[in-house]
Structure 1
Amino acid sequence: MIPAIEQRWSPRAFDPVAEVSPEQVGVLLEAARWAASHGNTQPARFLLGYRGDPTFTRILEALRPKNRTWAHRASVLLVGAVVTADERGPLPNTVYGLGLAVQNLVLQAVDLGLVAHQIGGFDKDAVRTAFALPDDAEPVVAIAVGRLGDVADLPEELQARETRPRKRKPLTELVFSGTWGEPAFSGETADEPQHE
């Protein structure tokens, strides 16, 4: 794997004084812009707030309370949204397109020495209202970006989650060949093919 994929994780401990420059954020969003999308429809849109500005505050207020306990320390908060239609009509696979854009953004963050945490726990209606989203725009994910901070700054119940090992299901449970459920690989990684 490329190092950015190996090193990517979703910390909650952000440095509360570190800044992410507009130039760095521009690189992150440029990486998102170059993501693949169905028919090059480019459905991904982003709301961008820097710690201390009104956009950041409105995004933070839309997060679920437990997410607010740590996300307020991030340097940047974003909301990733999709536009669901254009002049040609409804767009296909919009959430897939946003997912690709966000993955590009997150991997670019790793390359820049930053950390990012994608957040599903937020009030989409609050975002819609706070930012006057049109009917054809749907908020999907919030993203905290910044520099890694001290785990001790987190609420106690989150400290253990922050330091536990990363785990993923083995390829034997994820990749099949022949029939559904028949593993294509015999081990944890693709280094051990089941079928020649």
Structure 2
Amino acid sequence: MKPADSSVPLHPLLAERWSPRALSPDPAVTDKQFTALFEAARWAPSWGNTQPARFVAGRRGETTFDKLHATLSRGNHGWAGNAGALVLGVARKLDEEGEPFPYGEYGLGLAVENLVLQAVAEGLVAHQMAGFDRDAARQAFGIPADYEPLVVIAVGAQGDGDELPERLREKENAPRQRVALEELVFGEGWNSSAF
């Protein structure tokens, strides 16, 4: 575990959430855990309760998992095969009249964060990836033009980082870092820190 080094104590779900690449093929993601991930996502807030997030998901050993795994970039393909589940996050981008759908990506982001935090609550880990072929995912699952595939999430049990290739092992063992609060939150004006 690599808890967040925060200026004040955070809730354990937030402090313990990180994105490891070392995943163990055992144990599997249970039916209850799998359902809980999407219940958490379903109850995320969204603009006007429009709920723009959609998901394509499969557990290891299922055809959906294999099809999602095939869309991953070379850098993600190797380690993500040990995930207990792969999840494709898709955001609504057009409304019924073909006009831009407001805050679709934001809504998907909120739903994915709920999913990731539920994974932590279930004793699992989750790693979000932008490194996948969106067009291949769209084609593989028949995703309509008014929705945009944006992220693939690997969910599973944390594994041993020493089993990763060297360049990934270095990332896995590196300390977690974030932009300082002074550079993140402004008060009286831009670049005028609130802290």
Aligned: 1:92 with 2:139: no
Q: How does 1:11-22 map to 2 (within 5 A)?
A: 11-22=20-31
Give the aligned residue type for 1:183. S
SS at match of 2:114: helix
Give deviations 1:30-64, integer Å, cap 9, x for gaps: 00000000110000000001112111111111000
Q: Which residue of 2 aligns with 1:103?
A: 113
Verify the 8 A CA contact 2:92 2:105 in the aligned structure 1. no
Q: Which residue of 2 aligns with 1:173?
A: 183
Aligned: 1:73 with 2:104: no
Identity %: 52
Q: How does 1:17-56 map to 2 (within 5 A)?
A: 17-56=26-65
Residue 83 of structure 1 deviates from its aligned partner by 1.8
Verify the 8 A CA contact 1:41 1:91 in the aligned structure 2. no
The unaligned stretches of length 5 or more in structure 1 are 186-196
Aligned: 1:182 with 2:158: no
Deviates more, 1:139-148 or 1:13-22: 13-22
Verify the 8 A CA contact 1:83 1:138 in the aligned structure 2. yes
SS at match of 2:142: coil
Q: Which residue of 1 aligns with 2:174?
A: 164
Q: Which residue of 2 aligns with 1:146?
A: 156
Verify the 8 A CA contact 1:69 1:155 in the aligned structure 2. no
Give the aligned residue type for 2:41. A
Deviates more, 1:156-165 or 1:3-12: 156-165
After superposition, the CA RMSD in angstroms is 1.1
- Using the size of structure 2 for normalisation, the TM-score is 0.92
The unaligned stretches of length 5 or more in structure 2 are 1-9
Residue 137 of structure 1 deviates from its aligned partner by 1.3
Residue 86 of structure 1 deviates from its aligned partner by 4.1
SS at match of 1:95: helix
Give the aligned residue type for 2:13. A
CA distance in 2, matches of 1:17, 1:112: 15
SS at match of 2:106: helix
Verify the 8 A CA contact 1:36 1:101 in the aligned structure 2. yes
CA distance in 1, matches of 2:139, 2:24: 30
Deviates more, 1:59-68 or 1:82-91: 82-91
Higher gyration radius (CA): 1
CA distance in 2, matches of 1:160, 1:108: 27
Give the aligned residue type for 1:145. V
Verify the 8 A CA contact 1:120 1:142 in the aligned structure 2. yes
SS at match of 2:51: coil
How many matched pairs?
185
CA distance in 2, matches of 1:51, 1:156: 25
Give deviations 1:3-24, integer Å, cap 9, x for gaps: 1000000000000232001211
- Using the size of structure 1 for normalisation, the TM-score is 0.91
Verify the 8 A CA contact 1:11 1:115 in the aligned structure 2. yes
